[in-house]
Amino acid sequence: MSNWIINHGLSAFILVLWMGINTFLFVYYYLFYDHGLQFLYTRHIVGSGLSWARAPAAVLNFNCMLILLPVCRNLLSLIRGNFTCCGRSLRKQLDKNLTFHKLVAYMIALMTAVHTIAHLFNMERFNNSRQGKGDELSTELSELGDEANQTFLNPIRSTSTTPTYVVFTTIAGLTGVIITLALILMITSSMEIIRRCYFEVFWYTHHLFIIFFAGLVFHGVRVNVKTTDPPHNISFCEDQPANWGLIPQCPIPQFAGGFPQTWMWVIGPMVLYLCERIVRFVRYMQTVTYRKIVIRPSKVLELQLVKAGFKMEVGQYVFLNCPDISQLEWHPFTMTSAPEEDFFSVHIRVVGDWTEKLMSMVEKLPEGAQGPKIGVDGPFGTASEDVFDYEVSMLVGCGIGVTPFASILKSIWYKFKESNPTLRTRKIYFYWLCRETHAFEWFADLLQVLEREMEERGMGSFLTYKLFLTGWDQSHAAHVKVHFDKDTDVVTGLKQKTYYGRPHWDNEFTEIRNNHPTSVVGTFLCGPEALAKTLEKKCAKFSVVDPRGIKFYFNKENF
């Protein structure tokens, strides 16, 4: 339980707080419109549909204010940098920005559905009242506004129209349709299968948020929910519409719409996001040159890049844009270089149209030539920045997911080259899971250098690494069997032999717990969600309740 609080306590508190605010807004505005005397005449026509439409609108305003903030990457990086003196639990919340972004989007979708359905019923009831299908009071209320010096309550001003026609010919109705369609397209294109297989579809469709927010601002300009002005005594006059205008207490009721509020909720985040895009554009315009281009095995492209004023930390990532492929598409890649180097590098696995086109362009270049123009936005912080804040760090990478840990291990190598390296971290356990033997080739040379450097400094125990090959064929198995007695591994050339199959995580966590019974261990993963769930459970299982015992903190790369 204590470890659950350590890993999820603050996240749970934020979630409960967010849900609490949503619940409060819904209940408060539902009761406000359901009991407010100034809305009695409107409720008489549409019934509880008024409250069911307005309560979700309040929740929508709140969540539309939040939806842009988690994707302001520069803002989050600035906050992360200023929180270095604070607890790691607070910084960990920034790594869950996309999860929170999705939660807010789901709430927006749910409230949009309730708001839309309620208004459809309301328009039907308004139309029936306008055509005289309601009681006497509903008919009288619907006919107000037909004569001079009268204001109207019923937005349907003709007896020969239809609710569908009104929806597509009013500002509120038309913008509502546009907003809803944009939201549907954005959410459906964000499904995991589409993002992975058709990233371009997701990328372009998601930019409908511009239309969404523009429609949102104009949606409430013509307010259709109106209140009754005080001179008309509603409680006294409700039952005698025939006397309206004939007795002092019951003048012809006048109606007024409230001041539109949606723009006040979203203007701040919209300005912040605009600043975010300006910063990105400025970075895009800065010149980036190629130091080196290397085509690695297993369809992996290494780009070593140089950009004036560029500063990075271990484990950070950048967004890359290639105008020759697409002016608008930006793709995230974790940097594999160390902060101590005079360049920054990324390793790009070729999957999808964008990476295939980039590889094709690079393969056609003459030797030593500069590659295509490339824009770089970043760097941006991730969970891996906190690796050196733990006494013991446990790094788990899958395939190309080794990239943030390549940066970390390179930085360790540079630190050991100093005469007196200062590191809070006393031990690192590194696990790399790959399906193919070729995937080890481009990273094995770094491990060999680290292995040799640490042995020379008498620190061979600082890094324990285990490489796991999860896929192999009979010929490879036979080759390994023949060379089993060699001092170095036949796959990587390292002294540490490659393991075949997947790690037995219970054994690995047990070993770490036995070796470091009183330490705080940071577990970092760059890999699939299924493995994340497994490691998260293991962190909870093997943490000790005693405050003096070992604690595992789980961290996952998200971008």
> Quick one: three-class SS letters along 233-297?
CHHHHCCCHHHCCCCCCCCCCCEEECCCCHHHHHHHHHHHHHHHHHHHHHHHHCCEEEEEEEEEC
Cis peptide, bond prior to residue 379, ω within 30 of zero: yes
Residues sharing a CB contact under 8 Å with residue 513, sequence separation 6 or more, in sequence order: 542, 544, 550
Rounded Cα–Cα distance for residues 406 and 398 (Å): 12
| Alpha helix ranges (H) inside 72-96 | 73-82, 88-94
Cα–Cα distances in angstroms (integers) from residue 175 to residues 50, 179, 216, 217, in the given order: 19, 6, 7, 9
pLDDT computed for residue 479 by the predictor: 46
Residues sharing a CB contact under 8 Å with residue 268, sequence separation 6 or more, in sequence order: 65
pLDDT computed for residue 296 by the predictor: 76
- Bridge-based pairing state of the strands 317-321 and 375-380: antiparallel
Domains and CATH numbers, the chain: 2-278 (no CATH), 286-380 (2.40.30.10), 383-472+488-556 (3.40.50.80)
pTM as predicted: 0.81
Half-sphere exposure of 118 (CA within 13 A, CB side): 21
The residue ranges of the chain whose pLDDT is under 50 are 85, 477-479, 481-483
Rounded Cα–Cα distance for residues 452 and 38 (Å): 80
Residues sharing a CB contact under 8 Å with residue 301, sequence separation 6 or more, in sequence order: 293, 294, 295, 347, 348, 350, 355, 358, 359, 362
pLDDT computed for residue 384 by the predictor: 78
Half-sphere exposure of 231 (CA within 13 A, CB side): 11
Buried b (16+ CB within 10 A) or exposed e, 345-364: bbbbbbeeebbebbbeebee
